[in-house]
């Protein structure tokens, strides 16, 4: 059984008001073939907002990798990238 891609969406105040609220709906926007390969959960503040001045919220993480200025499209692309990397 292949390991699922873990996606964490930060629901801290800052990320939420900077666009994170839309990311809650990621599941609905996933293409069919990806739905069973991905585990999506919310997360308390991931701390990215305080650690890196240059990266902008909203933040999410895909398999532990930080995604800044996250959007549904960006997250889907990162998920696909993880799947491809996993095949090598």
Binding site for other proteins (CB under 8 A): 9, 11-14, 16-18, 20-21, 24-25, 40-45, 49-50
Nearer to other proteins, 14 or 83 (CB): 14
Nearer to other proteins, 1 or 44 (CB): 44
Q: Helix or strand or coil: residue 84? A: helix
Alpha-helix residue ranges (DSSP H) falling in the chain: 13-15, 21-23, 26-29, 32-35, 48-51, 72-87
CA 55, CA 87: separation in Å to the nearest integer?
29
CB of 24 to other proteins, least distance (A): 6
CB of 47 to other proteins, least distance (A): 9
């Amino acid at each position: 059984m292949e390991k699922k891609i873990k996606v964490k969406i930060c629901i801290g105040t800052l990320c939420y008001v900077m666009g994170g609220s839309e990311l809650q709906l990621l599941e609905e926007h996933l293409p069919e073939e990806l739905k069973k390969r991905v585990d999506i959960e919310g997360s308390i503040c991931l701390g990215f907002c305080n650690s890196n001045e240059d990266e902008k919220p909203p933040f999410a993480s895909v398999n532990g990798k930080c995604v800044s200025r996250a959007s549904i499209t960006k997250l889907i692309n990162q998920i696909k990238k993880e799947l491809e990397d996993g095949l090598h």
